Amino acid sequence: MSLGGKTLFVTGASRGIGLAIALRAARDGANVVVAAKTVVPHPKLPGTIHTAAAEIEAAGGKALAVHCDVRDEAQIVAAVDAGAGRFGGIDIVVNNASAIRLGGTAQVDAKAFDLMTGIGPRATYLVTRAALRHLERAANPHVLTLSPPIALHSKWVGDAPAYTFKKYGMTLLTLGFAAEFRDRGIAANALWPRTTIATAAVQNLLGGDAVIAASRRPEIVADAAYAILISDARTRTGNTFIDEDLLRSEGVTDFTRYAVTPGATLADDIFLD
């Protein structure tokens, strides 16, 4: 199967994992709605919706750059309508946009809590809801959310309860979508990396250069996402996948090409302790 001609609506697609997923789809000739907030260059973050769109088209796809703050329902609806209008529908939703604030209850204030939950479970719900009428008409529709398996024994439950609430909320909603949409043939799955991934969030918030050196590149998550998105939506739904485990099940045995630093000891991602 291929994503050629399919239309993906990807939140947070201007950089990192979202952009990597978009580029992998573009290699098949997919259409990508780049729904993100960065319109002009950010001093600390790479990429904008326009640079991402240019990369997608250079990779062989078609792109529509849409400014969208996923905390704003009206902007979400407008972005979905713009993408469906340009490309004739929406086949796939990738809920990738995120914000991270680690720390305990005393460290994470209301502003940070609202930011995380607004960009996390609330946006996952609103984006999926806005795209639903298009997914119902698609041939092999998928909802993919970048969120982890729920593991209440993880140390992060106590170390970062607000962030845990945000990410587990995204997963719970996705599993709910799978149950609700199963009879309509719409798949909903969650995907999370085995290791830390070399993104701006890891660089700026999770340990800087040392953690980046012990990370994998975003392409491993993109390849795992691709394997999900080309599969039969009626049979592969309701899962919380780990990228490495999924790729191994698809026959991948050599993961060295994904490492930022070949031979380095890799750092486990959050929630997989």
Catalytic center residues? 163
Question: Which run of H or E residues covers position 203?
Answer: helix 200-205
**CA gap 34, 12 in Å, rounded:** 7
Residue 42's contacts (CB-CB under 8 Å, 6 or more residues apart) are 48
Q: Where do we find the tokens 């809920």? A: 95
SS3 label, residue 123: helix
Residues linked to residue 189 through DSSP beta bridges, in sequence order: 144
CA-CA distance, 83 to 267, in Å (whole number)?
A: 37
Tokens of 16: 């990192």
CA distance 5 to 61: 9
191, β-bridge pairs: 146, 241
Strands 62-67 and 31-36: parallel
